[in-house]
Structure 1
Amino acid sequence: MTKQMDPKLLEAIARNYKHTFTSLARRKKGILEQRDPSSNTTLHLAARFGHVELVAEIVRLCPDLLLSENDRQETPLHEACRQGNDEVVDLLFETNPVAATKLNNENQSPFLLACRNGHLTVVKLMLRESWLMEFEEDRVDSTPLHVAISGGHINVINQLLQVRPHFARKSNKKGLSPLHYASSRGHLETTKLLFSHDSDLALQYDSDGHTPLHLAVINGYMTMLEAFLSSAPTAFGYLTRDGETVFHLAIRFEKYNAFVFLARFFNFTNLLRQPDGFGNTILHLAVLRENYQTVKYIIDTTIVDINHQNHKGYTALDILEHARIDAENEQLKALLQRAGAKYSIELSPLMPEIKQIHPPMLTHGNPGDIVEEKELTVFHPSLDSRRVEPKDSILSIEPSVDLATSSISQNSRGHFLRNQIASYLPQSWKERMVLPTPWHQKRHLSRSCGHLPDLISTTEEGQRNDLHEHQNGEKSIVQEKCESPKQDKLRNLWQLKCASERRRKELSKLHRIRQHKQYEMHSEAALNARNTIVLVAILIATVTFSAGINPPGSVYQEGHLKGKSLAGKTKAFKIFMISNYIALFTSLGIVVALVSIIPFKRKQLMRLILITHKLMWVSLSFTATAFISGTWVVVPQGRNGGWMVEVLLAISAGSLGILFIYLGVAMSRHQLRKLRYRDNKKERVADIAAIQGKNRSQSSIFDNRRSENQSYQMSQSTNSDVDSSTSLGYHAY
């Protein structure tokens, strides 16, 4: 195919000379199939210039050009949508709607180009086609709403949300929703429009574990933060994948104005003091960033614990100690020390041997710093929710042995036992907490805080080696020292208690998993039973309806009784009709009830199944009665019939009777087991509550919390049908 178009033809298209174009098309055969150097056909060019009459003429002469593609794999409809000529778009779309589904080499449809360029009339025209919008919703890269937000076309965005509101919750291949796009670009009007549509859009996470609010904080858009405060305040309690709050993000990406703005609103909430997934508070990050202005604001204005220790046991002063030495760091150190900051080693009064073996790993507050504050629920993308502990809460764990004769002070015992809690942490946290040198620990902390400058210069390489050798020497000295027998006994008892507690948690978790699987199987079985009852009821209704229309014994073929049953006056036929009617309308009632009522709770579903199941028994019984009475009508009796009717009646009635008796006994036994299970459960809950009240004053906080958790778990609503029949594996209803 030629890549050179006739100049006269090109001029006729550009100047909209319809007469010249028509004469050229008639004189030169195949001229309409010529293309320019970019492989554009005559229809591409006519659609680009917006000549409606010329486009109609080309479509009439050569309709195959509608699906022709140029070098960018674009059809003439792509050109028309890019230019925004609604008349040309309407003409091309009506001629061949398939062209609207074609994608160019950038995976863009014609409708996507119209949204990207903000052509509202074209967007309205194509939004009327529901099948086309379903095609656009199935896109995995970007929806039309994404591209409209990228261009800031507020009118197109509003029209898309009105006609296709599902676009607002669609994410692209990077997991970004339309609100993520608007928040990351600072489009305030678009954000408000999305909030007016659905404020819960602010709670969506992208593939990086960020909500739209997180992106607004990272970019420091103050007006966006005000919009989130007024329309979606709950979004501020959602954490990143690493457990970072909006304050961590503001400091990490050095958005000081955004940090100050947020601190004014949340100063007296626990969100400001919430540590990240590595235990770092906002003060840790500000010191690590060596941001004097932010550190001074945190110390002077906020209520953050200045001596908070992260999961590595480091305070803010410890982090500053490992940074490079310069004038700014000296100012930070002086500022922290004036505010009362201490090293982590100063916070533990234990003997040096214990401190070297068990470095502090948990956060503990100052009992004197009691601040009246509001509680704020925070959410993590990998967790449901968690409640932040108030500042004055101190973890106190004591072993269940008498420490009155111990030479260690009460505060020393408390710090020593806090160190043992590390055995409860996940293995990945333990590995992060036992790094060989403070320099390695610092590198790990910097990873949790994003990309940071190298804190150790090349001139300090020898200092790191000396520090590593010194720490190895201390470790060998500690291994040679012996602890007192009482300390050994205390440690052994505590380790046994920790191992027992871990084993108890593992068994409890395994039990919950098995119980959850049983509950899922029971729920699925209940739904299957519901569907089976509907199917059986429909089958009974079909059979009884056919039997009622075609009664046994045939009908009169002539006379005034034509069409009436021949055996209509017999007693057996009357029993047949009564039983058939009852079975028919009972089964119809079952179908209507199960189709009309949709329970979404387990107890209501089981109650509905129980009622309809008993009605199905009634319907089956009367169906069997109708069948027996119908056969009584048609089977000959007396000497000719012999004993056949009596035998069949005995077999059918006996089999159904035995089955109903067995099911009734099984259901009665299940109800008795269920009642006994509930009584035993109430007794266990009462016993745990009594033990908890008796030992409340003398047990530790840890034991109290464990008893409360056990009492709560025992008092939770359970599936008594499943739990009371675990040994059998089934139950009747």
Structure 2
Amino acid sequence: MKIIDLCPSLVSVTNVDGNTPLHLAAEIGNESILWKMLRCGRADCMKINKQGQTAFILACLNNHLDAALTLVENMRSMTMVELDAAFTGQQPVIIDKMLEKFPSLVLDVDEEQSTLLHKAVTQRNEEYATKVIDLCPSLVSVTNVDGNTPLHLAAEIGNINILWKMLETGEAECMKINKQGQTAFILACLNNNVNSARILVEGTSSMTMVELNAAFSEQQPVIIDSILEKFPNLILDADEEQSTLLHKACKSGNLEMARTLLDVDVNQEIAEKVDKDGLTPLHRAVINGSVEILKEFLCKAPSSFNITTQGTIETVFHLAAKYQKTKAFIFMAQSANIGQLLYSLDAEDNTVLHVAASVDSTSLVRHILSETTIDVTLKNKKGFAAVDLIDKEGVDFPLLSLWFRDEAEKIQRPARYVKFAHEPVELIRNTNNGEKLSSESRAMDLLREGRDPRNKEREMHSESLQNARNTITIVAVLIASVAFTCGINPPGGVHQDGPFIGKATAGRTLAFKIFSVANNIALFTSLSIVTLLVSIISYRTKALKMCVVIAHKMMWLAVASMATAYAASAWITVPHNEGSKWLVYTTSAIASVALGSMFVYVSFMMVKHILKKDKLRRNQSHGKTPSTTLDMEAAGDVGCYWF
């Protein structure tokens, strides 16, 4: 104190850390020294050290209450930084004193644009949050750097007392969104704060589909009930995909929510709404395969079963077959009120049997064949019966094709069984549940024994491709051998002496040049064929056929080159005098007529076969028929085809 009296200016001198004596006195809480420094008139209470701290902040951080109060009484101004220090140190007496002396301080914000109310809510300090709201109710709607109001923060942490206090001010904007596009209600739902969400529902005057969707996404039935109770028309609202809440409930299989919405929808308005895909909520339930939800619709909105999809005009049975929902299909088929829809056609005149066959649903095909009277010979707009749409490379193709053939031959359908060569076959498996046909293996054994001629033809086709591959390989090796031999022993021989020793005697003639080029083409094309065929192991007919077709085209090139090389060598070796000149022309004529006529004939047959294939392909509706089957169908009864 003597030093202060002797030299008052020392009070504001800083040390190496930027601390003045005032800082140090506040840090240790020496109130008497603080008073002495403050009375000398030289103390700068707002001076900061190198850590950015004032004397007041040091007093708060070290919990020196009296020292902090002394500084407040002697300070001419304060900022949000000091208020934040008092708040962080949880010093209510200091905060009260600060707000009493500097009431405008409540409007200040920190570097994150947060007000004192934001901080009070974040730290769950209900007492100070209430005081701040009473001092300045407008702070309820002030946003921080993230766009959150104090209402957002209170909803996020689930503090219902502060929420009520804010709503009572009339300043709270319940529908205000933050930078993430979230309202206070959405934050309450995302954090499972049910009570907070219900309070916000009661305190708001309007809500949108966005809030309803948030409650649905978090599976909060209590909140949804509160929303629909206050805003019943909200069930008719749709999101950007034109989906109502009932669409979402049916799509996700939420039975309780679907039941609640159907109870509210007395006039069946939402039950008949369509989304952007042209589907009603019932259609979504069918696609999901939820039988329990279908029961609710059948009881509360039966007329919705008569609505077809927009554009494709598919019934609920078409959808169930398309997505292989066997249980849903059978449930609807057994319902007396909607069973007649089984016989409806879609926009392409497909029956449900067409659809079931196109997706290879053995369980549905078996049920339709045995339990309905749908005509298996009916054709759609593209001229195809249901049997034509089966995937001919599928594992169930033999089984399904026999069922259809058996049904087509009979006037009356069996109720539960179908016979394969007088052998009983038990009920088909349920594809969705993985239940297997107990006698399916027996049926397949019967097919493999040769009772299905189409199966035998496919086996012969596969064997023929293998034979063709082997034949081409052998011929390619033979051509390569001959071409190699002719290459090192050229026609006309080689010079035995002189500067051109070892060189072809006819090397400068045009015929030899033609021979050399053609012979090299034949050699290396043949080697390429051999490399291709020995490098690929095909275990599917389609892949094997592709390899054989490529090798076949290369083989034609090799054969044509070999013939050209022979004709050129004949031109070199045959004498060109008057008595033997005709031999040259005869050789060329024989080669041209023999190979040319064969090439023209093969090309004609190949083009004819390709045109038949194209005609069959254009008539395909789903594009699932493999090219192998198209080749066999285009060949008809001829028993072979050209490629």
TM-score normalized with structure 2 length: 0.49
Q: State which structure, 1 or 2, has the greater radius of gyration over its C-alpha atoms.
A: 2
TM-score normalized with structure 1 length: 0.43
